[in-house]
């Protein structure tokens, strides 16, 4: 089992969720984060000045999935989270190994608890 963690643009959340659902991945955990990557875009306006923030608002998705779902999951995210204009700031995906998953309600463990 793997934990796929994606950091994406908040604006892309809906599209990514839809793509994941199409890939039959529905369970996930979402949180607000801020990030700094290579991107220097997402400029904001402040009283006539274009301000490039140091930390941009991002959304983090954590998706625990069985090994065979990892690649479909990555593909779905990449597909949906990419800007048309190939700009910086589209985000990143991290994959870590999951040793155990437990469903609290049933105490089920492992792949079937995902």
Partner 1 sequence: MGVRAPRLAGAALFAALVSLSPLASAQGDMPTTDTGTTAWMLVSTALVLLMVPGLAMFYGGLVRTKNVLGTMMHSFGAMAVMGVLWVVCGYAMAFGPNALGGWTGWNPDFVMLLGIDDSIMPTHVPEYVFAMFQGKFAIITPAILAGAFAERVRFRGYLVLIALWGILVYNPLCHWVWAEGGFLFDKGAIDFAGGTVVHISAGTSGLVCALYLGARRGYPKIAMHPSNLVMTLIGAGLLWVGWFGFNAGSAVSSGLDTARALAVTQAAAAAGALAWIVIEALHHGKATSLGIVSGILAGLVAITPAAGVVQIPGAMILGVAAAIFCYGAILLKNRLGYDDSLDAFGIHGVGGIVGAILLTFFLRPSWVAGQDASWSLGHQLLVQAEGVLVSVGYAGVVTLVLVVLVDRTIGLRVSEPEEMAGLDHSLHGEHGYGLLNPN
Ligand X SMILES: Nc1ncnc2c1ncn2[C@@H]1O[C@H](COP(=O)(O)OP(=O)(O)O)[C@@H](O)[C@H]1O
Binding site for a copy of itself (CB under 8 A): 2-3, 6-8, 17, 26-38, 54-55, 58, 60, 62, 64, 74, 77-78, 81-83, 86-88, 90-105, 107, 113
What residues between 61 and 100 interact with partner 1 by CB under 8 A?
none
Identify the CA nearest to 64 among candidates 35, 108, 12, 102.
102
Contact status, residue 43 vs residue 89, Cβ threshold 8 Å: no
Looking at the Cβ atoms of 23 and 74, the one nearer to a copy of itself is: 74
R_g of the chain computed on alpha carbons? 16
CB of 51 to a copy of itself, least distance (A): 17
CA 96 to chain centre: 14
Separation between Cα atoms, residue 73 and residue 94, nearest integer Å = 12
Q: Which residues contact ligand X by CB under 6 A? A: 7, 27-29, 35-39, 56, 58, 62-64, 88-92, 103, 105, 114
């Amino acid at each position: 089992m793997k934990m796929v963690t994606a950091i994406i643009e908040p604006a892309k959340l809906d599209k990514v969720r839809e793509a994941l659902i199409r890939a039959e991945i529905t369970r996930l955990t979402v949180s607000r984060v801020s990030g700094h990557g290579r991107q220097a875009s997402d400029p904001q306006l402040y009283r006539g000045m274009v301000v490039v923030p140091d930390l941009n608002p991002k959304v983090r998705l954590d998706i625990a999935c069985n090994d065979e779902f990892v690649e479909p999951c990555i593909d779905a995210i990449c597909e949906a989270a990419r800007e048309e204009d190939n700009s910086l700031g589209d985000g990143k995906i991290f994959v870590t190994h999951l040793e155990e998953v437990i469903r609290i309600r049933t105490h089920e463990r492992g792949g079937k608890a995902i």
